[in-house]
């Protein structure tokens, strides 16, 4: 049986508690390994190691920091298949999607490695003679990185790579469900030559480990992706302690299908967006806003396709939809079936926990579609985080946009239309951080900002150049070489 350890100050160590927790394969129930159930003392040791390493790492030339990340990226390429297979075993997504998860981590690593030779600041003219003005980025110090289980390689790289290339050091707490993938990533950092203490891995519960990182006075920033409830707690505690906090939280994403849309293309996009990763994505399409003129055709085609999707182990080539990550998540998702029916929505397909044959060993739920859902119903308002989507009929584009905006979240949205004017109306009037035209709600690329509005986050963005603003401070510098006192705004 594999036994995994924390990584603190360049060494693999047991938790001071001596306690462990187990993780099993959500498709088969087989034991993956045991992991340390860490304590506040473990977090303290990790922060101390990161704090000491920061003294040296911030002075390590940024291009050389980038070169280490390039080595990390190359190792990720070489181990892509192994990492993808282990990811499928650990959290359930089908192998093709797991490969995409690893590829996203590769892309982010190479993108941020290049920032080691940029990290642009600004130069501006001065209002006074013989004076030079510029701004530079500076690292924050020790940053706490707390990541979810649904993208166990990609999301850590969204946070860790910009943090490191900017000169910060990291204390990393992964989701307990995907701790092995975190170990594999840190092993690659170690092999690539990252100095001791620059990244530290502490595994365990959010209640103990996450809160200890959040409340530690030497942690300057918390970058958190997870549930809205937990994110609210992180935000409140961070404000109380004067920390910078970057949050990526929930979503209730909508696909609008207009009366002039390519229906077959829309069906492809809806199925991929609603049931990819078994619906366990913050960008999943859990609402489909359909014009009544095409509603029946759309529903019939969706039901036929969804009803034929094959549940199974993600390593099997015949599998379309893998398991949910845990028994508790399965029960939570399934509870919304009764909610939708009680509210009067029409269950078109799915709605059951799959228990036939080998599926009984895992946490499988049928892809589920509700029709004739009202915008105010709970299944149209609350994040379900599973393979469930709701068809909401509307009579016009104006009504569709109003419904799309009528939730507390604002992460991703999409519109299927052949009319360029309708597309531009959606771009103008839909208030989400991401918008797709004639594509589903998933598929963000790493060189554009990722994040949402309203309850989806707190205004920060991951990926692209925007990520560097999370992990750096601006310093404005004025160099006066006039040899005399010059008073800005006075001696002009």
**H/E/C letters for each residue in the chain?**
CCECCEEECCEEECCCCCCEEEEECCCCCCEEEEEECCCHHHHHHHHHHHHHHHHHHCCCCHHHHHHHHHHHHHHHHHCHHHHHHHHHHHHCCCHHHHHHHHHHHHHHHHHHHHHCCCCCCEEEECCCCCEEEEEEEEECCEEEEECCCCCCCHHHHHHHHHHHHCCCEEEEECCHHHHHHHHHHHHHHHHHCCCCCCEEECCCCHHHHHHHHHHCCCEEEEEEECCHHHHHHHHHHHHHHCCEEEEECCCCEEEEECCCCCHHHHHHHHHHHHHHHHHCCCCCEEEEEEEHHHHHHHHHHHHHHHHCCCECCCCCCCCCECCCCCHHHHHHHHHHHHHHHHCCCEEEECCCEECCHHHHHCCEECCEEEECCCCCCHHHHCCCCCCEEEEEEECCHHHHHHHHHCCCEECEEEEECCCHHHHHHHHHHCCCCEEEECCCCCCCCCCCCECCEECCECCCCECCCHHHHHHEEEEEEEEECCCCCCCCCCCC
Q: Active-site residue 282, yes or no?
A: yes
Q: Active-site residue 300, yes or no?
A: no
* Of 198, 221, 201, 223, the residue nearest 68 (C-alpha): 198
**From 89, 115, 248, 366, active-site residue:** 248
**From 90, 282, 383, 462, active-site residue:** 282
36 and 203 in contact (C-beta within 8 Å)?
yes
Active site residues: 248, 282
């Amino acid at each position: 049986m594999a036994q995994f350890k924390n990584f603190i100050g360049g060494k693999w160590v047991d938790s001071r508690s001596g306690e462990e927790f187990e993780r099993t394969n959500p498709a088969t129930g087989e034991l993956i390994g045991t992991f340390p159930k860490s304590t506040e003392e473990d977090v303290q040791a990790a922060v101390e190691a990161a704090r000491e390493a920061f003294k040296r790492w911030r002075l390590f030339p940024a291009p050389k920091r980038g070169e280490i990340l390039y080595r990390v990226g190359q190792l990720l390429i070489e181990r892509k298949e192994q990492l993808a297979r282990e990811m499928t075993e650990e959290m359930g997504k089908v192998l093709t999607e797991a490969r995409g998860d690893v590829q996203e981590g590769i892309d982010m690593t190479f993108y941020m490695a290049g920032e080691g030779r940029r990290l642009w600041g600004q130069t501006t003219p001065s209002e006074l003679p013989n004076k030079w003005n510029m701004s530079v980025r500076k690292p924050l110090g020790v940053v706490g990185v707390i990541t979810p289980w649904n993208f166990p390689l990609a999301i850590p790289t969204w946070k860790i790579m910009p943090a490191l290339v900017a000169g910060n050091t990291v204390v990393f707490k992964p989701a307990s469900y995907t701790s092995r993938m975190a170990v594999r990533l840190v092993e690659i950092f170690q092999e690539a030559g990252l100095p001791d203490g620059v990244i530290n891995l502490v595994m365990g519960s959010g209640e103990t480990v996450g809160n200890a990182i959040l409340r530690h006075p030497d942690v300057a920033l918390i970058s958190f992706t997870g549930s809205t409830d937990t994110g609210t707690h992180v935000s409140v505690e961070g404000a109380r302690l004067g920390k910078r906090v970057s949050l990526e939280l929930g979503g209730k994403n909508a696909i609008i299908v207009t009366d002039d849309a390519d229906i077959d293309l829309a069906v492809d996009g809806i199925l991929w967006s609603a049931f990819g990763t078994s619906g366990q994505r913050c960008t999943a399409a859990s609402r489909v806003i359909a014009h009544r003129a095409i509603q029946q055709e759309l529903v019939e085609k969706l039901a036929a396709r969804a009803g034929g999707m094959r549940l199974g182990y993600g390593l099997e080539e015949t599998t379309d939809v893998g398991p949910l990550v845990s028994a508790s998540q399965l029960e939570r998702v399934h509870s919304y079936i009764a909610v939708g029916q009680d509210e009067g929505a029409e269950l078109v397909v799915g709605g059951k926990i799959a228990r036939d044959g080998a599926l009984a060993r895992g946490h499988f739920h049928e892809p589920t579609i509700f029709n004739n859902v009202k915008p105010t119903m709970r299944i149209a308002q609350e994040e379900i985080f599973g393979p469930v989507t709701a068809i909401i009929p509307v009579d016009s584009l104006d009504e569709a946009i109003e419904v799309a905006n009528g939730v507390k979240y604002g992460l991703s949205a999409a519109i299927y239309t052949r009319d360029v004017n309708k597309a531009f109306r959606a771009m103008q009037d839909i208030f989400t951080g991401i918008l797709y035209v004639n594509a589903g709600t998933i598929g963000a690329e790493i060189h554009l900002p990722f994040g949402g509005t309203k309850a989806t986050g707190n205004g920060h963005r991951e990926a692209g150049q925007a990520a560097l603003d999370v992990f750096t401070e601006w310093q404005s510098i004025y160099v006066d070489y006039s040899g005399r006192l010059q008073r800005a705004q006075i001696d002009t």
